[in-house]
Structure 1
C-alpha cells in the first residue's frame, strides 16, 4: 500500500497523521466523509487538497482499524 501522502511530524498537529505535512489530519478527512460530505464538497472547502489525499486518508484509516495492539507484559 502506497501512503506517501500521509506524514507524521511532532511539530505539526502533535505528530498526528496529516496530509502532505499540512495542518489537516487524516481524522479530519475521515470525519468529514463519515458525516456525509462528498469528495467534491471537501475539495471545495480545502482547495489545497487533492482527490488522492482523500483516498489515502481513507486507506490509512482502514489499515489502522485492522491493526492489532498486543500488550507487552514484563515478568
Structure 2
C-alpha cells in the first residue's frame, strides 16, 4: 500500500504525519471526518483536502490500531 500523500517533516507541525506537506495533520483529518459527516461540507471548509488525502489518512491511522480486543460496557443508560 502506497501512502504517498502522508508526509512528515521535523520542522513542520512537530514532525507529525501531515497531508502532502500541508499544515494539516492526519490526526486533524480524522477529527474533521467526525465533525463534518457530510463530505461536501468538509470540502467547503477545507478545499485543499482531496478524497485521496482522506482515504490515505484513514489507512495510515488504522495502521496504528492493533487487533487486541477492548471490552466495552454491555449496558448503558438512555438519556431522556
Give me the TM-score of the superposition, normalised by structure 2: 0.74
- The runs of 4+ residues in structure 1 deviating greater than 3 Å are none
Match of 1:19 in 2: 19
Where structure 1 has 5 or more consecutive residues not aligned to the other structure, the ranges are 68-75
Which residue pairs with 1:35 in the alignment? 35
Aligned residues: 68
What is the RMSD computed on CA atoms of the aligned residues? 1.8
Secondary structure of the residue aligned to 1:10 is coil
Larger radius of gyration: 2
Q: Normalising by structure 1, what TM-score?
A: 0.79
List alignment gaps of at least 5 residues for structure 2. Answer: 68-80
